[in-house]
Structures are given as C-alpha cells and as structure tokens.
Amino acid sequence: MRIFIFLLLFWSCSHQFIVDCDDGNYFVSPNKNTESSFKHQQREIITTFSEQELNSLFGDTGVSCKNILANFFYCNICFNNEANSLVSYNGSRLNLDDTKDPNEFTTNIIDLISSMQIGSEEYSCFLNLHPNSFSKKDSIIQ
C-alpha cells in the first residue's frame, strides 16, 4: 500500500501540465523553437478569448495578436476557456490576469515571456522586425 501511495505521489508531482483542448478551439503555431534545450518547443496559451478576438491587429504592427504570439513567441493557443494561463517550455503553468482587451492580453503575455531567458531573445527578434511599434521605450509592453 505504501509503495502504491509513493508511486501515485511521485507520478502526480512529476507529471507535466497537459493542455486538453478541442480541435475546433486549438491553433497550432507553425513554428517551433528548435534552439530550446527544453522538451517542449512550443508554449501553450489557454485563453478566454475566441480566435476571432485574437485575430485583431496588435498595435501598429499590422499583424494579428494570434500571429504575433504564434510566430514570434512559439505559442499554440487554446481558445474559449474559463481562465487565462501560459504553459512555458519547461511545462510550468503560469496563471494570467483577466482582461477584456486582446491587445492588453497579448502585451501581458509578451511582457511575461520577455522576462524569461529564452523569451528575451524572442522578444529582441520581434523588436528587430517591428521597431516602430515600440518606439516609445516599449511603452506598450511595459
């Protein structure tokens, strides 16, 4: 009995967070971060927003929020959930604040990711391609 309980606790503590999302609500990033040493090469975003809401343009970039997150920050997105969270490359789940604005939501995710070691490199690449979007000392992101 003790062995069973030990194995159960060990498995549950080491088990990484798995995203369970209906195919119709799931957008898979076409890109993977192959330079990452982590097991997962894509992040997972679980959001209350619909796909249509995240198709809105992000600031002055001319690119949708969805495509910014998927193409620059390697995020798969699970839409239409009850809460917002981000699953990082290492499998850690980070809860996100609720917001009704897709741009603010995207900014919050970019801010969080840019504070991570690998994410800061991705953020630099994003800024190199969209420098005019954040010319006010990254005021949108900060």
Residue 70: predicted pLDDT = 95
pTM of the model: 0.76
Asked if pLDDT for residue 57 goes beyond 70, the answer is yes
Asked if pLDDT for residue 17 goes beyond 50, the answer is no
* Of residues 105 and 20, more confidently modeled: 105
Residue 61: CB atoms within 10 A of its CB come to 19
Query: Which region among 29-38, 64-73, 95-104 has the lowest average model confidence (pLDDT)?
Result: 29-38
Q: What is the DSSP string of the chain?
A: -HHHHHHHHHHHHHPPP-----GGGEE--S---TT--SS-SSEEEE-SS-HHHHTSB-TTSSSBHHHHHHHHS-EEEE-S-SS-EEE-TTS-EEE----S-HHHHHHHHHHHHHTSHHHHHHHHHHHHH-GGGGTTTTTTT-
Q: Measuring CA to CA, which residue among 86, 130, 128 is closest to residue 106?
A: 86
> Taking the domains of the chain in order of start, what are their residue ranges?
25-134
